[in-house]
């Protein structure tokens, strides 16, 4: 749980202080080109960051746009990227029909990542997805 009022991240019984050290925000990620994703398959395509201000970002996490997911035409994988002129985006079509996506389609957001840590608990198990 994230407690924004007290600047705390709570994981089980652990409480971790949070400190904002740079601009907080996320930026829109839009497709760079027209792409057709066949039924029940996935592709990696190029996208670009549509908003200004992401120039100082050294590392970012790409996450699906809520609106894009709600449309039910495709899914976007979470990906760690180095923001450049174009960035890779992995699109999955989970429908029974080919889906066409056009340049400028907002498929994801990107947020700055300051640190990446390797997990020490390699045997950790996660709950089943719905």
Residue 120 resides in a domain: no
Whether residue 52 has pLDDT greater than 50: yes
**Tally of structural domains, the chain:** 1
Residue 8 resides in a domain: no
Q: Tens digits of per-residue pLDDT, 10-32? A: 888 888 877 654 445 788 999 99
Mean predicted confidence (pLDDT) in 33-57? 89
pTM of full prediction above 0.75: no
Residue 44 resides in a domain: yes
**Residue 60 belongs to domain with CATH number:** 2.70.40.10
Mean predicted confidence (pLDDT) in 39-52? 91
Q: Judge whether 53 and 34 are in contact, CB under 8 Å.
A: no
Whether residue 33 has pLDDT greater than 90: yes
Please list, residue by residue across 101-129, b when 16 or more beta carbons sit within 10 angstroms of its beta carbon and e when fewer do: beeebebbbbebeeeeeeeeeeeeeeeee
Confidence at residue 89, expressed as pLDDT on a 0 to 100 scale? 95
Whether residue 92 has pLDDT greater than 60: yes
Q: Residue 65 is part of which domain span? A: 21-112
Residue 39 resides in a domain: yes
């Amino acid at each position: 749980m994230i407690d924004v009022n007290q600047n705390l991240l709570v994981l089980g019984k652990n409480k971790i202080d949070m400190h904002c050290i740079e601009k907080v925000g996320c930026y829109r990620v839009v497709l760079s080109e027209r792409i057709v994703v066949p039924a029940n398959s996935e592709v990696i395509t190029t996208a670009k960051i549509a908003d200004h201000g992401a120039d100082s970002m050294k590392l970012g996490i790409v996450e699906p746009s809520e609106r894009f997911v709600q449309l039910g035409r495709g899914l976007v994988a979470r990906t760690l990227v180095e923001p450049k002129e174009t960035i890779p985006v992995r699109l999955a079509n989970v429908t029974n029909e080919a889906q066409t996506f056009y340049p400028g389609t907002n498929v994801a957001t990107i947020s700055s990542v300051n640190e990446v840590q390797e997990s020490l608990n390699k045997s950790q198990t996660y709950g089943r997805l719905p």
